Amino acid sequence: MIIAGLSNSKHLAERIASKLNVDYDDLLLRDSPDGELHVKFNSDVKGKKIALVQSLYPYPNHALFEVIYAASAARDLGAKEIIYIAPYLAFFREDSRKSRGECVQQNIVADLLSRSVDAVISVEPHLHQHNFSGKLFSVPFYRLECNELLRKYVKENFSGCKVLGFGERGWKLAKHVDKNAALYKKGETAEYREKVLIVDDIIASGNSMMNNVENLKADKINVLVVHGLFNNGSYSKLKNHVERIVSCNTIEHESNNIDVGSLIAGKLMEI
């Protein structure tokens, strides 16, 4: 097996390769002067299983094309099997047409990936509650959950905190961390005379989380998130209002403290 790191996930790809004790290919990725993408393998992939590691953030459109190009190149070069590992999978947060004439992104991306790779692995994919991966993809789709990783980290680093799950998704994660976790709804005002840990699956613009923090009164507030996009400078803004922000390394960021490399490596050993 060869683990190939694409632009957004090279460090994580190296960690996975190290955990599995297999070869790592630092893919050559460059844009030509006119903006065209160029992808080149440094290893001989003929007859081998290739795992492409790429989070679809930042620059999700460009990141997706890196995956498509790399998968196509691997296939053309004679790879035996191609697995796409999406630590963060973009384009799947909406499952229906909101206005007339609008494309449904998830259907297009699922079709492109199904045509390009033999299987997809994703960590806590933000699929809409009505999405079923078996209907979206025509290749095997493996959803990895961070429950045990989050529970272990909280136990070792946030003992004594009241755990709150932001929204239904966050609450589901929080309940795995602490069975007594409370549901904290958007816009809700609450007061706790203790330290608080807010759990969520994703922070994008950070607007909702900022509203939470402003409406929440507690001794100290901490935030735990799986996917930290933190776009539009939201990390700096949020950091000024909380004690700690911790994320998983599904997207490379300074807040990364929870490694999903072992989780992914374990699944690769199974399939």
Amino acid at 145: E
Here the tokens at position 219 are 């001794």
Would you give per-residue pLDDT tens digits along the chain (271 residues)? Answer: 999 999 999 999 999 999 999 999 999 999 999 999 999 999 999 999 999 999 999 999 999 999 999 999 999 999 999 999 999 999 987 778 888 899 989 999 999 999 999 999 999 997 754 455 567 899 999 999 999 999 999 999 998 999 999 989 899 999 999 999 999 988 888 999 899 999 999 999 999 999 889 999 999 999 999 999 999 999 999 999 999 999 999 999 999 999 999 999 999 999 9
Residues 6+ apart with CB under 8 A from 152: none
Q: Are 58 and 252 in contact (CB under 8 A)?
A: no
